[in-house]
Amino acid sequence: MNKHPEMAIDLDKIVAAKAKGKKIPQFLVNGMKRLLHVDYINEYLTQGYSGVEFCTNAIKFLDVTLDVRGFDKFDTSGQTKYTFVSNHPLGGIDGVALGGIVGEAFDGKIRYLVNDLLMNLKGLAPLCVGVNVMGKDQDRSLASKIDEAFLSDDQMIMFPGKLCSRRIDGRIQDLPWGKAFIRKSVMTGRQVVPVHFIAQNSKRFYRVANWCKRLGIKFNLAMLLLPDEMYKARHGTFKVVFGDPIAPETFDSSRTPYEWAQWVRSKVYEL
């Protein structure tokens, strides 16, 4: 296979852009490259896959096995529009896995709402609408891009917890879900599909996340560990359970959109 060096991650450029003019010592950037397994990731990225092929081949590259349950209940003709909403236990493999499963079934017609850092993955970016989950400095056109995605014929994939799952009350679970998927799915007549991705990261990941919370550190340090978590999860097997579609009419005025979002979240963990 021909290599595509232009598809590689250039961490120096990404750090410079995020630093907004502040000088970051090179030894710190080099340390981040090792922590993030940039060379390993670029080994895959430079193979040049894009779109749904990026997702399916990433799973093969990582030698991950998916035990998929309940996916035979959907209308894959494209006549029915869905919003697939999942918990987010791994922060990497779960994302590309859902893209591969749903994307293959729906002839590549999918869109994600994702952390805008993932837009640096050129093979994944064509499927994505990037959202800055770390701050308020959003692209002014973001709202129209999200509406455009929901109004399209693409199937939507979302992780409404935004951040990767944490250890909360002794259980690995998402933070409270955002309400946007409820509002947008009702607005565009989409059926909502709860998805339970059964997996968890290492104890180290949850310790770091909890210490950041206790110390009031606003920067999401645990996020920097996710590539290492993905690297360690190679050769693993994960169960993915799809629930029954929920009609948009279900989300009536008896609850607020936020309350309906938590209701769907609870359905995910019942699967």
What is the full per-residue pLDDT of the chain (271 aa) written as tens digits? 557 777 788 888 877 777 777 777 788 878 888 888 889 988 999 998 999 999 999 999 999 999 999 999 999 998 999 999 999 999 889 999 999 999 999 999 999 987 777 777 888 989 988 776 555 555 667 788 888 999 999 999 999 998 899 999 889 999 999 999 999 999 999 999 999 999 999 999 898 888 887 777 676 778 888 889 999 999 999 999 999 999 999 999 999 999 999 999 999 999 9
Domain assignment of residue 59, yes or no: no
For residues 25 and 84, membership in a common domain is answered with no
pLDDT of residue 141: 75
Which residues touch 107 (CB under 8 Å, ≥6 apart)?
78
Domain assignment of residue 119, yes or no: yes
For residues 23 and 95, membership in a common domain is answered with no
For residues 173 and 234, membership in a common domain is answered with yes
pLDDT of residue 135: 52
pLDDT of residue 132: 66
Domain assignment of residue 57, yes or no: no
Q: What is the CATH number of the domain that holds 221?
A: 3.40.1130.10
For residues 230 and 255, membership in a common domain is answered with yes
User: How many structural domains comprise the chain?
Assistant: 2
For residues 135 and 219, membership in a common domain is answered with yes
For residues 28 and 97, membership in a common domain is answered with no
For residues 71 and 42, membership in a common domain is answered with no
Domain assignment of residue 94, yes or no: yes
> What is the reported pTM?
0.89
For residues 21 and 98, membership in a common domain is answered with no
pLDDT of residue 217: 67
Domain assignment of residue 60, yes or no: no
Domain assignment of residue 183, yes or no: yes
Domain assignment of residue 58, yes or no: no
**What's the CA gap between 82 and 188, in Å, rounded?**
10
Residue 226, amino acid: L
Domain assignment of residue 56, yes or no: no
pLDDT of residue 138: 52
For residues 20 and 114, membership in a common domain is answered with no
Q: 169 is in which domain, residue-wise?
A: 65-270
For residues 207 and 109, membership in a common domain is answered with yes
pLDDT of residue 209: 86
For residues 3 and 125, membership in a common domain is answered with no
For residues 5 and 127, membership in a common domain is answered with no
